[in-house]
A and B are shown apart, each in its own frame.
Chain A
Amino acid sequence: MTHAETSPTLHGLMAEFETPTALVAATERARLEGYRNMDAYSPIPIEELSEALGLPRTRLPRLVLGGGILGGLAGYGLQYWSQVIAYPMNVGGRPFHAWPYFIPVTFETTILGAALGAFIGMWALNKLPMPYHPVFNVPAFARASTDRFFLCIETSDPRFDLQATSKFLESLHPLGVSEVAA
């Protein structure tokens, strides 16, 4: 396998499909063929697609858990600091550290932390915001957000070969195959 003909100005090769089923089938074939650096684009969520792409499981749940734990500790800590250390006040003869009262706020800040973890984590893991992405150089790609399904095999894949990959994509009976300028 030579990489000589791979142009440095090329991001990859993109095939266009009409149905989600065709996209999933094509992705599975490409993976069987040995391609790894590829991505699929669809206007609707397709559960099978992540599996077909062989994507590793998302790290988002761990970020959400971490955010939740931090939020909970911060919420409890804030109340402990204000009620016990900074401004202790006798309310109905209860102890300063009346923990049952702290639980609702701790619960709320746990949720807040987890939600922030999910929100910020999702942006970070998706590398957003991303002002430029080469796939938009293909005019047909405009329909990726309405009714067309795309599979892009990238030049960074060790098995990428302009002629062979192009031939392989054509064999999947797409609507068309386009070169994606980097």
Chain B
Amino acid sequence: MTSDTTYAPPEDLDARRAMALKVGAVGLVACAFGYGFAPEHFFRSWLIAYLLFLGIALGSMGLLMVQHLSGGAWGVFRRVFEASSRTLPLMAVLFLPIAVGMTSLYPWSHPELVQNDAVLTHKAPYLNSVFFMVRALFYFVGWTTIAWTLSRWSRLQDEGDMSVNIKLQYLSGGGIVFYTLTATFASVDWLMSLNPHWYSTLFGFLFVGGQGLSALAFTIIVSTFLVRRAPMASLFKPSHFHDLGKLSLAFVMLWAYFNFSQFLLIYAANLLEEIPYFIARITHGWQYLAIFLVVFHFAVPFSLLLSRDNKRMPHRLVWVALAILVVRYIDLVMLVSPEFDAAGVNLHMEAGEHEGGFYLHWLDLAAPLAVGGLWAWMFFTQLAQRPLLAFRDPYLRESLETTGGH
């Protein structure tokens, strides 16, 4: 290892960054246009797209903390995780449309509905507009503080301050607990309370596990971009991609395990409070989306990731990662959209907001462009600010050995 190497980002990163901003701008214009015509649809689509990219940012922060605690050769990707987690301030800003659209999204924000509904009245001390905003503020302050502190200490490490090594581990230990708890609460606030009558204790883990998978898929895509260019071409090895592939396989299985467990328990209990969630998702055309997810969110990536070659060769792994990001998006569509459909016996239907079976609005495609473009712009900006390798990481030498230490 030589200290004269700067590990500066490749030159064409700026072009990607500019392109991301353009895509984001086009998406924003489309969204503004869509908001004028169908504000209800705009808020739903924005929520879906927002949660996908928030998942990449938060999942990256979670994986970064796991990496600080566990070590392992995949630490060579630390700068990608750090750059993703530093996009969280932008995600706090992009949350604003959800706050504005609260009454379009969440039935509990309608006082007249709450009054006439015993369950909602009971839940009102938690599910009310003010506390919803206070919690969101608390999450973002906490997440941003952790992400920026981890990044700041990482920079001090680059400058030669080795006293931060142990501090990074301590903060990661506490930070993982904080992240898991707050992300669980956020999943209740932003997703589960779309249908405030329904509840599932596994939901938070499903949300956090999905974020981990999104973050891994995104990291594979960025790292494949980096490994084709100097200076990382000689540093990222097949064994490093192998690690990312193995972790992705584990997260694909985790997603399937949590989802199936949730389904089996609700199917077995067959309770009136729980079963409408699945009825809404296995009727009126949504069942095809459900089967699609079982096949393409589990069976296909699982089978592809079993192969050693598919995990070790970045040019193959990147296609699996791209496909995973697409199905992560469709999984979020499945969590959100059926709640606004007539098939679901839910409060939106009583409020007269319903579709006739499966639907995909054009805004569902425009919103990811807007959120994704802006997010990617922020990510590339952050990635370019630091050396691409945490070159003073005490475990790095081991990670960079030909076979990759484990």
Interface residues of A (CB under 8 A from B): 47-48, 61, 65, 92, 100-101, 103-104
Q: Does B306 reach chain A (CB closer than 8 Å)?
A: yes
**Which of B260, B308, B402 is the one whose CB lies under 8 Å from A61?**
B308
Q: A100-B264, A100-B267, A103-B260 are in contact. Are A47 and B403 (CB under 8 A)?
A: yes
Q: How large, as a class, is the contact surface on chain B?
A: 10 to 19
Segment 227-279 of B: residues with Cβ below 8 Å from A: 260, 263-264, 267-268, 270
Complex: how many Å from CA A48 to CA B404? 11
Contacts of A65 in B (CB 8 A): 306
Known: A92-B270, A103-B260. 11 other contacts (CB 8 A): A47-B403, A48-B402, A48-B403, A100-B260, A100-B263, A100-B264, A100-B267, A100-B268, A101-B264, A101-B268, A103-B264
Interface residues of B (CB under 8 A from A): 260, 263-264, 267-268, 270, 306, 308, 402-403
Contacts of B268 in A (CB 8 A): 100-101
In the A-B complex, the 9 residue pairs with the smallest Cβ-Cβ separation, listed nearest first, are A47-B403, A100-B267, A100-B264, A103-B260, A100-B263, A48-B403, A103-B264, A101-B268, A92-B270
Contacts of A103 in B (CB 8 A): 260, 264
Contacts of B270 in A (CB 8 A): 92
Contacts of A92 in B (CB 8 A): 270
Give the distance to chain B from A161, nearest Cβ to Cβ, in Å. Answer: 34
**Which of A47, A48, A61, A104 is the one whose CB lies under 8 Å from B264?**
A104
Give the distance to chain A from B337, nearest Cβ to Cβ, in Å. Answer: 24
Complex: how many Å from CA A61 to CA B306? 10
Contacts of B264 in A (CB 8 A): 100-101, 103-104
Give the distance to chain B from A138, nearest Cβ to Cβ, in Å. Answer: 30
Contacts of B260 in A (CB 8 A): 100, 103
Complex: how many Å from CA A48 to CA B264? 46
Give the distance to chain B from A82, nearest Cβ to Cβ, in Å. Answer: 18
Complex: how many Å from CA A101 to CA B270? 13
A-B pairs with beta carbons under 8 Å apart, 16 shown = A47-B403, A48-B402, A48-B403, A61-B308, A65-B306, A92-B270, A100-B260, A100-B263, A100-B264, A100-B267, A100-B268, A101-B264, A101-B268, A103-B260, A103-B264, A104-B264
Complex: how many Å from CA A100 to CA B264? 6
**Residue of A with least CB distance to B404:** A47
**Residue of B with least CB distance to A51:** B403
Give the distance to chain B from A58, nearest Cβ to Cβ, in Å. Answer: 10
**Residue of A with least CB distance to B261:** A104
Complex: how many Å from CA A65 to CA B306? 10
Give the distance to chain B from A165, nearest Cβ to Cβ, in Å. Answer: 29
Give the distance to chain A from B300, nearest Cβ to Cβ, in Å. Answer: 16
Complex: how many Å from CA A101 to CA B260? 11
**Residue of B with least CB distance to A68:** B306
Complex: how many Å from CA A101 to CA B263? 11
Complex: how many Å from CA A65 to CA B268? 31
Complex: how many Å from CA A104 to CA B402? 40
Complex: how many Å from CA A7 to CA B264? 68
Complex: how many Å from CA A47 to CA B267? 48
**Residue of A with least CB distance to B309:** A57
Tell me which of A47, A65, A104 has the highest count of chain B C-beta atoms within 10 A of its own C-beta. Answer: A47
Tell me which of A100, A103, A104 has the highest count of chain B C-beta atoms within 10 A of its own C-beta. Answer: A100
Contacts of B403 in A (CB 8 A): 47-48
Complex: how many Å from CA A92 to CA B271? 13
Contacts of B267 in A (CB 8 A): 100
